[in-house]
Amino acid sequence: MAGAYDLVAIVRVRTNDALANLVTGEMLQVDGILDSETLIAFKVFSRHDLESMFEIGFERE
């Protein structure tokens, strides 16, 4: 990671309430985690699609 964030975690939950519980009830209780920012994806992509997106501009040797 580089930039404003130290770590990015991708989680999948069934409901918004489950996400709220995970972030505030569990994750923020872990020693060392001082703050969090939650971003919600409205569309899910396959692993193949994600890998393709992150390879844009990347040339293999």
Q: 26 near 33, Cβ under 8 Å?
A: no
pLDDT tens-digit profile of 8-29? 788 888 998 998 999 889 988 8
Q: What is the pTM of this model?
A: 0.53
Arithmetic mean of pLDDT, 38-45: 78
List, in order, residues 6 or more apart from 58 with CB less than 8 Å away. Answer: none
Number of domains comprising the chain: 1
Using a pLDDT cut of 70, give the percent of the chain over it: 82
Percent of the chain with pLDDT over 90: 13
Asked if pLDDT for residue 37 goes beyond 70, the answer is: yes
Q: What region does 3 belong to: left with phi over 0, alpha with psi -120 to 50, or beta?
A: left
- Which residue segment(s) compose the domain that 2 sits in? 1-61
Q: What pLDDT is recorded for position 57? A: 63
